[in-house]
Amino acid sequence: GNSVTQMEGPVTLSEEAFLTINCTYTATGYPSLFWYVQYPGEGLQLLLKATKADDKGSNKGFEATYRKETTSFHLEKGSVQVSDSAVYFCALRVGAGNMLTFGGGTRLMVKP
C-alpha cells in the first residue's frame, strides 16, 4: 500500500535557523508528492508539490526535492520566521485518481 512517514515533532527552532523536516514514502506506483501546511486555527493549505523525480517544489522560501532513489521529499527552509510556526504534512498521490495519503504531521515552533 501507500504510506508516508514524517519525523515526529515538535521541532523547535530559533528565528533564522535552518529547517529540515524529513519525509519518506512507500508507494505502489509513481507518486506525486506534496507538502501541506496548517497554521493555527486554519485549514490545511498546499505549500508546494513535485510530480516527478528530481523536481524541486518551492514556495514562500520552502523547498523540497523529489528523490526517487531514496523515496524522500524532505522540506527545507534556509531561515525560518516566527510566522512559519505551524503543522506541516507530507502527502502523496498515486495514479489517475485524486486521493491523497498523508503523513502524521510535524509541528514546527519558531521562537523569536
- Give the nearest distance from C-beta 48 to other proteins in angstroms: 12
| Of 18, 2, 1, 10, the residue nearest 75 (C-alpha) | 18
Q: Interface with other proteins includes 70 (CB under 8 A)? A: no
Q: Does 22 bind other proteins (CB under 8 A)?
A: no
Over 88-112, what HEC string results? EEEEEEECCCCCCEECCCEEEEEEC
Give the phi and the psi of residue 67 in degrees, each rounded to 5.
-110, 100
Q: 7, 13, 17, 100: which one contacts other proteins (CB under 8 A)?
A: 100
Residue 85, Cβ density class (10 Å: 0-12 exposed, 13-18 middle, ≥19 buried): middle
Binding of other proteins by 112 (CB under 8 A):
no
Tell the smallest beta-carbon distance from residue 4 to other proteins (Å). Answer: 7
Number of amino acids touching other proteins (CB under 8 A) = 23
**By the criterion CB under 8 A, which residues form the site for other proteins?**
4, 6, 32, 41-46, 49, 51, 89, 93, 96-105
